[in-house]
Amino acid sequence: MKRVVSISLGSSKGNKEHEVEILGEQFRIERIGTDGDMDKFSAMFRELDGKVDAIGVGGADIYLVIGEKRYAFRQIQKIARQCKQTPVVDGSGLKHTLERKTIYALNEEGTVRFNDEKVLLVSAVDRYGMAQALSELCPNVVYGDLMFGIGLPLRVRRYSTVKLIGALSLPIITKLPFKWFYPTGEKQDKRTPKFKWAFDEATVIAGDTHFVKRYAPDKMYGKTIITQTLRKHTIDFFRSAGVSRIITTTPVMGGETFATNVMEGVVVALLGKRPEQLTEKDYLDTLAKLNWHPNVLKIQETV
């Protein structure tokens, strides 16, 4: 049996494990939270190196991407490099391929007609595949990087502006402690709503689950959420807020969805290659075999 483990900086309350057969291979998939404890997070990479088939970086990113440029969070990259045998992934490969395909598929199938929607993407540098696809398909996108990443109440409406801001800021940001820019541990469950007007203006809210939930207002009547990781308590929150439907990019397993890094670990384990050896074609060919489709969860009876 292949074993894929996501080591997360998030809360241990979200731990999950699931066994499933994928393309004829039996998988044990696990998510283990370290409650924002960076020392424990680091120790688990050393502990699991050589003992599992792939390790995912959860509750954190190694890379942020703008256009063709990729910037690594120095602190997280240093921890990941402790693994000498087991491949480590952070979901970048699927953000480039699966999440981009998800936006195109939703548009082509008419599930979400982006030309008619107003989209708030809470962070473009984190979901760059989505950002690039949305910039092509949707004339009304607000990229929330300045609002939710830095706290400035400024709408960014062009992806070219995201690229300019990122080129100036990411070389500095990625050298600073990761927790300054992304909630870790219990903070992932703590809500600090802000920029309500940005959520109110949007008909579709896309991006990282924790970012959306952390900053969302109490009510989001009729909105569509496009995200990746779903737990039952997250679904309950969106339902109580009046959200109409949630669309996930990763498949449902045991009634919930794992994060992008976990599913990228599955792809790497299936192919038996190091992440740096994989091409875009490798990902796309494997995704075609897996036949993963966006999951649409309608959570209000009126929809």
The DSSP-derived string for 216-247 is --S--TT-EEEES-B-HHHHHHHHHTT--EEE
Identify the pLDDT of residue 122.
96
Q: What average pLDDT does the segment 177-187 reach?
A: 75
Residues in contact with 67: Cβ distance below 8 Å, sequence separation at least 6, in sequence order: 163
Identify the pLDDT of residue 157.
96
Q: Which residues pair with 85 in a beta bridge?
A: none
Give per-residue pLDDT as tens, 218-244. Answer: 999 999 999 988 888 889 999 999 999
Identify the pLDDT of residue 11.
86
What CA–CA distances, in Å, run from 63 to 91, 186, 189? Answer: 9, 23, 23
Strands 63-66, 141-143: pairing kind: unpaired
Identify the pLDDT of residue 302.
52
Could you give the angle at which helices 98-109 and 260-271 cross, rounded to 10 degrees? 110
Identify the pLDDT of residue 176.
87
Measured CA to CA, the distance from residue 196 to residue 281 in angstroms comes to 40
Residue 284: which pLDDT band, with cuts at 50, 70 and 90? confident
Q: What burial class does residue 161 get, using C-beta atoms within 10 Å of its C-beta: 0-12 exposed, 13-18 middle, 19+ buried?
A: middle
Q: What average pLDDT does the segment 285-296 reach?
A: 88
Q: Which residues pair with 18 in a beta bridge?
A: 29
Is the torsion defined by CA of 92, 93, 96, 97 positive or negative? negative
Identify the pLDDT of residue 255.
76
Pair of tokens at residue 110: 């008419």
Identify the pLDDT of residue 145.
92
How many CB atoms are located within 10 Å of the residue 181 CB? 17
Give per-residue pLDDT as tens, 49-85. Answer: 999 999 999 988 898 888 778 899 999 999 999 999 9
109 or 299, greater pLDDT: 109
Is the torsion defined by CA of 123, 129, 135, 138 positive or negative? negative
Strands 16-22, 256-257: pairing kind: unpaired
Question: Nearest-CA neighbor of 91 among 64, 68, 111, 123?
Answer: 64
Residue 303: which pLDDT band, with cuts at 50, 70 and 90? very low
Identify the pLDDT of residue 256.
79
Among 6-20, 111-125, 227-241, name the most confident range. Answer: 111-125
Rounded to the nearest integer, the mean pLDDT of the chain is 91
User: Is 9 in contact with 58 (CB distance < 8 Å)?
Assistant: yes
Would you say residue 189 has pLDDT above 90? no
H or E element at residue 28: strand 25-33
